[in-house]
Amino acid sequence: MKGKNDYNPDAELAKGADLTASSYDKTQGVAVAAGKVTVGGKPGVAEITGLATGRAGGGIDGTLNLWLSIFRYMRPDGTINHVGGWNIMLALKAGQTALETAAAFAAYINAGTRPYKAQASGTKIKASVTITYKE
């Protein structure tokens, strides 16, 4: 363990999870607009577009996925916090709007025990889910 003198707040608060996203749906897409969810409060943002074709059967077809990477950072007291990664797969329904998908991601994240909170916003055709780190 490192001592308190090694704590650099600017460096530690800039650390966080890398946000990546992927769509396996034919008509609903997802892209990362802000790819880092930092300890210091910088949110990650995924933008969802279109209406979903949806899932018909098993496999990954008809799903959208968000991934938050594993990371470590030092607290002011010198202890190291290890934050686990999180893979979130959401099965879509035919005709599901972008806002419904963003809201479903936000509800799943907010109901989880991981140190993240999310908020959905937008329209039926273009929406976003904003994810922040909350310890």
Each residue of 51-76: pLDDT tens digit?
Answer: 999 998 888 999 999 999 999 999 99
The string of DSSP codes covering 58-95 is: SSSTTEEEEEE--EEEE-TTSPEEEE--EEEEEEPPTT
Torsional sign, CA 106, 48, 15, 1:
positive
CB contact burial 117-126 (16+ within 10 A = b; e otherwise)? ebebebeeee
Parallel/antiparallel/unpaired status of strands 29-34 and 44-49: antiparallel
Q: Which two tokens stand for residue 62?
A: 């008809």
The model's pTM is 0.93
Confidence of residue 135 (pLDDT cuts 50, 70, 90): confident
Q: Residue 61: left if φ>0, alpha if ψ -120 to 50, beta else—which one?
A: beta
| Cα dist from 23 to 6, 90, 92, whole Å | 41, 10, 10
Confidence of residue 5 (pLDDT cuts 50, 70, 90): low
